[in-house]
Chain A
């Protein structure tokens, strides 16, 4: 039996036991792909949001433990999920929507100014002027 045959199943188990972490990494990759690939500015903002929400997944996963309930403290209760990451993500979601709308306002202004939200065509129009 080669070393590969021993290591590979163990490694698969490592990743399967951390499925939310792997999901977080996949979503980071997808968000970054949208940011690089998309030429439409609105879609870039969507990609930014997917990137951001994948980080939320990482935080909430870190706060969780098996058999935990939500952080509503009761006499003799427990275990609980860690409330601190929940607070951070709670505020991050609301700040995220505010910043998203600021980005969208800038996109609307770009459209009013240049007549397009396509990245390359904005540059063409700027070169023409």
Chain B
């Protein structure tokens, strides 16, 4: 619990260490810092989950069908979470993303089933509508200046209404077989939707963590005033982030439709909590204190494994909600506590 433990986590990414650093590494605080598992504690916890459920459920848990089902189910959550990362990076919340997903799924299905549109046309229209939602969010937050929590909460309710209107409270589907193939075809033994998700991970990882635009987005999130004075067009970044998040939500919605064929009108809200929980859990992983892609991946898999194991053990459905909720509280609690520890360290150092 020293300054060293703090710098340790950042210094790890840097290959060149001078002699002083290497000597300092041998001091007890350095070693403690190196052993401090916080940055990858999610992976450790994942290993514990896998071991625990494998021992308790040797027949059902450690099977390829478990892997396939987690990969298939969680790809959609992951894509939504990747979208949320973009708004979270600039310091905003998009609560409407989950319902945008639900609306896109129902709309895409309805366009094909009720209007008999070709899949290509249906998907195009759906994505355009999804992006339009993002544009409206951007105008409300960056233009009008409504707090993002309130603006997207309102938008979420509007989208819920649109979803009900389009679906008439009925299941929409089934969508054409060929269309279902875009999500369910197998590639390398995994449903192709998981491959999409991994591809998008790399895309967002590059865009947020290794491109100038991403760095500026984080600057807006860290300190909008300082970012503006350093020449960042903060309004543009805030506005753009809502459009990107909406696009990801809409893509995730289309993929859900393809994956499950028949869409329930109540689909959206179920994605809200797991995706946000994953994003916040991610701030305790890999790059502590920042919303980051690989932390989010770890978090999504961790949450999904826990839920899957509990379900296989014969628990009721409410276990899912309980688990996700508790995980969110624990994650944010851990983030706040580790932030407090960092501040204390800083205070000691000055």
The reply to whether chain A is a binding partner of chain B is: no
